[in-house]
Chains A and B, each alone.
Chain A
């Protein structure tokens, strides 16, 4: 949470909130049937019209941000969407855009794709995880083999968010020249997508099989030599979105639990009058402030392109993902049995936070990365 917002940012925030309330009330998420889509194109399109896929895209490529600081606006939006456990491809589309924009000017031109993603006309997602694997994008077993005119991709990706709904996949693959990324249409011959069970009800996942998928030379994103840098940018944006949406969700659930503490009486007094419980609220309040502090500091570093940005996004992810679990599980405990029922909202947030904790590096992964970055 930014301590001070401009009038434009407040408007941006309010427009996101009202669209969310209209299109994606929490109860809708709770009532989803097995196999029913969590979001539809029309609602994503409405979000894109409000700028949900434009913040980190330069104006000449069809983007733009309300404050002039795109990463800050992205984080503001992610908090708002996190507060509502919003379904929709916000994270994958923005992460793919981060990669395409970072690679822009090197390798084949993807301006048209960037523009159509920013406008919400197409949906893209990052295919980076592989079955059975932990976070190790540099160790892709999916291969891309030069064919003379283009590339042939083979292998399997999983935990691909919105993989069934997406038009395009950003596939991280190993080439004879090292790691590279490719934009592959899901409709291409040899691409098979199938649904994968997902803990977060609002974020459908898919497994993607690539069997002799042939793409042109223009499918390459950037160059193999520049891929590490582009991957870092994608990771930074993914982590910022995760941290910010966890902060937004925590803020909402903590407020709900504080209110519960005032409203719920036992032995003739409110829960909030018991010191044992007040002290837990105090811890949660403190952790929540620290989550905001580290998320905002990471956002500022990514916004300004600071050399500390890789370090600070890992600090934020390792901290926020862990404290989010502490806070949310304590919210459940303070609610009592109702906190573990399907009818209560808490599990929707706990699903999102647990899924965010798991993907794009766990706290343990990021702690090891911090040791690497600090030259231990």
Chain B
């Protein structure tokens, strides 16, 4: 009974059609146009419904905030697919606590400020029991105070800046953090690339990039490397020739660009135009199909850190990649989808363990997550509510991301 109800087309369709929730549901406005007899009928309707259907099947609502459009759209689109896959699987198994799971997704349009606006809407109007966000650290930083104040757990799936989970005990994440990622990149630059002089290119308006650059600088210098040039740009910049020309004059072995994929692709292209053939590498913010689409030949010979490799032979990864390809026309998922998928399963498991959807109890259950077997590795939530996981380095070769090495915490 419950599982068939969970598979009701309406429930799945709601999670499968993200835009639906962006416009208000028609039912909210419908009574306004009703005449008085109809209105009284409409008021009676909920009672008649509740008598015929058990109250227990009311779905559990999760709120999801994603950059579905705009310059970080690749992150949001992939993450949302991961969430949808997880929800569909959980519901096929009979939901959580005997109730189906639904997700209400909101688009922050990759714009500063919009994440907070839609988070308020999800918390106050949709009354979600938990929040997810596959956007950048800057977007997540807008959501954290709101989730904390509402005492609703919030899981950031890809935000790697440490401050996201700091000081607020309702905030979790399902990915590694930048101090680790910075150390990974520093190790990669010294041992694999054998680089002694590296130029650092930071996006000063992204907290992710600023944080990652800071850690990279510390770790790389500690390993005996030299940061021979430091250049900066802002999100949305398109011209990097000036910075790259200055870098060229500094005669470095490699460039570390810690920003996101749109800028990374453009700067690789301009670097190649300027005759810089050296390796360029970055963090997980590079990971998107657009990197290769915009960058073309120029991104060949670049490297980035990531959370998993779709080429891995681990059974969980192979299973996930197979299901993802079957569902999305044979496309190969990058790490945003499995991270969001894992995060959704972790929340569902925590709800099941808590036995309730109440914020404080769900928070405690999430904090107690140990060795959760996910696609991106075993997740344990540590005392700082971060996940400790290993990182992989991927290389772009002939327009494809290929596995290079795994670096453990």
B and A form one assembly? no
